Amino acid sequence: MSSVWSVRNFFRTFSFSVPLALVFFDNIGYVARVEGISMQPTLNPDNRFDELTKSNSSLDIKCLLEDFLNSSDLILLSHWATRNYQIQRGDIVSLVSPKNPKQIIIKRIIALEGDTIVSRGNLRYQTIKIPKGHCWIEGDNSSKSLDSNIFGPVAVGLITAQAKYVIWPPKRWKSLSLKLPTDRTFSPISTSIYNGSYSAGRSMLIELNEE
């Protein structure tokens, strides 16, 4: 009898916890592993997986796996933080890649709608005004990043979550603060939040602002 009740209780708990977990993941947040080096040094600063695999094809698979697990950051992503697309310049966000809808990428928001920015990628030195409902995203490791400098402004509707904390490896536990790269600082600095309506803070990226 006890075994029957155990099975019954298991399925009762399972049927309750799974929908609750799904609601949490869909609306609150989840943990994800960061791959690649486009957000270095903020994320994956010690990641040498690509470098090792290219430099020595005979490396032991176990060593490669250990290096990958120990140098790849696990981050907490918050859906709640980006509800109604309340995003700010400097936020690190995950979003659906405009180049591949099946891929989720992670980048930093550099500019919001109404801002004017100078591109430094394929569109090098072009002055671009961010259209309504869009933002400009870049990787912190700009020379190794596929971002708005390649494909232009992206729709804010592609944003899925905001990266809040690094939770693994333990030595790198930290909160991911809102900041802009020093070479992407706006003048005058505006902290206006885009909330689905036109941003009042128009800024032009002109030079490093020391104020």
Catalytic residue check, 175 = no
Report, in angstroms and rounded to the nearest whole number, the Rg of the chain calculated over CA atoms. 21
Q: Residue 88 burial (CB < 10 Å; 0-12/13-18/19+)? A: middle
Q: Which of 3, 6, 17, 38 is catalytic?
A: 38
Catalytic residue check, 62 = no
Q: Provide φ and ψ at 157, rounded to 5°.
A: -65, -15
Contact present, 83 and 59 (Cβ < 8 Å): no
Can you tell me the distance from the alpha carbon of 166 to that of 32, in angstroms, rounded to the nearest whole number? 10
Q: Which of 72, 94, 107, 203 is catalytic?
A: 107
Contact present, 72 and 35 (Cβ < 8 Å): yes
Active site residues: 38, 107
